[in-house]
Amino acid sequence: MPRPIKPARVRTLSEPDRSAWADYVRQVKAFEGRDLKLPDPPAPAPVIQAPAHVVQKPPAPASKSHRPVTLVTGLHPAGLDKSTWNRFSGGKLPATRTLDLHGKTADAAFHALQRFLLSAHAEQVRCVEIITGRGSGEHGGVIRRELPHWLNAPALRPLVLAASHPHALNPGSTRLLLRRIRSP
């Protein structure tokens, strides 16, 4: 069965955009024999008042609606194509930089990780490796246990697209795929 065709989305300018365009058009001189068309003023929006018995909820804060999804090591994230994920999770995508956190306290390791990721992201490095070590406990050492929490912290989560162990037998090393910087 053929898929239905979606109608084209109509885009309109916001009031600040209309104002900026009108200011720009006033500064431009038209070609000889042509007229400049100023954008139409926006139609006033109809004022609709809710009945007195209806309680209006305040809008939700914008920060909650744009919160990144929790990063899980070894889970294919949305927004990453399958071939890149397979190369990355299979250890075929080489890490450009490595940070070894062996012998550091948890506090020092967190600050080193933060500096390392901010620097790598600013320099547009795509893949990095964090070595935490296996640790002596049943579930690994403190740094290995804390790394997923640190990566999901508000300061670092927007920088990281995906996380994976480069080899299934080495949980003491985590590779991170950093997000690309998009130019405006």
pLDDT digit string, tens, across residues 66-100: 556 888 888 888 888 899 888 888 888 889 999 99
pLDDT per residue as tens digits for the range 4-61:
666 666 667 777 877 777 777 777 777 777 776 665 655 565 666 655 555 555 555 5
Claim: this prediction has a pTM higher than 0.85: no
Burial string for 47-76 (b: 16+ CB within 10 Å, else e) reads eeeeeeeeeeeeeeeeeeeeeeeebebeee
Structure tokens at 94: 């080489």
pLDDT of residue 113: 93
* In-domain check, residue 180: yes
By residue range, what is the domain housing residue 162?
95-184
Alpha helices in 123-174 (DSSP H): 142-151
Identify whether the C-beta of residue 128 lies closer than 8 Å to the C-beta of residue 98. yes
Identify whether the C-beta of residue 60 lies closer than 8 Å to the C-beta of residue 66. no
How many folded domains does the chain comprise?
Answer: 1
Q: Give the residue with greater pLDDT, 53 vs 123.
A: 123
* In-domain check, residue 168: yes
CATH code at position 117: 3.30.1370.110
Beta-strand relationship, 173-178 and 97-100:
unpaired
Q: Give the residue with greater pLDDT, 175 vs 18.
A: 175
Residue 176 has pLDDT above 80, yes or no: yes
* In-domain check, residue 59: no
pLDDT of residue 34: 74
Nearest Cα residue to 12 out of 2, 3, 25, 21: 21
